[in-house]
Amino acid sequence: VIDLKSKSKNLAIPLNRISKSILEKYDYNLPSITNQKMNEYIKEVFKELKFTDEIKKTMKYGDELVDQKAEFWTRISSHTARRSFITIMKNKRVPDKVIMSYTGHTSLEVFNAYYRPSEEDKINYMNEVFK
């Protein structure tokens, strides 16, 4: 896989059975799609599946915090999948360096910004350590 940001860095990513079946379906020649179009399709699917719960996002404008509310499907994007992938892998205790080799991150600081443990995860980790 070629890293789209650097255009030169090749990433070696082992395929799971789902990824492999998708690549085989397209004879390893995936159709080209822009990020914008992919995000439109993702939103369309999530809207159709009724992911309409209202969520709150707090934005900072200067010194002021402003809460913005929107339906979940309007906030979903391919970048959400990137954050979810990293969080799932970290929750499965895959070492950071291994995950970073899949995502193309070179900075641990930037990589760690993608990890967002849920409140449930935090409780589970605490309970696991102090059994």
pLDDT mean across residues, the chain: 90
A 10 A CB-CB count for 72 gives 14
Separation CA 79–CA 7 (nearest Å)? 18
Q: What is the pLDDT of residue 2?
A: 55
* Residues whose CB is less than 8 angstroms from the CB of residue 111 and which lie 6 or more positions away in sequence, other chains included: 86, 96, 99, 100, 103, 105
Taking only the tens of pLDDT, the chain with its 131 residues reads 555 565 567 778 888 999 999 999 999 998 899 999 999 999 999 999 999 999 998 888 899 999 999 999 999 999 999 999 999 999 899 999 999 999 989 999 999 999 988 899 899 989 999 98
Separation CA 91–CA 84 (nearest Å)? 10
pTM of the model: 0.72
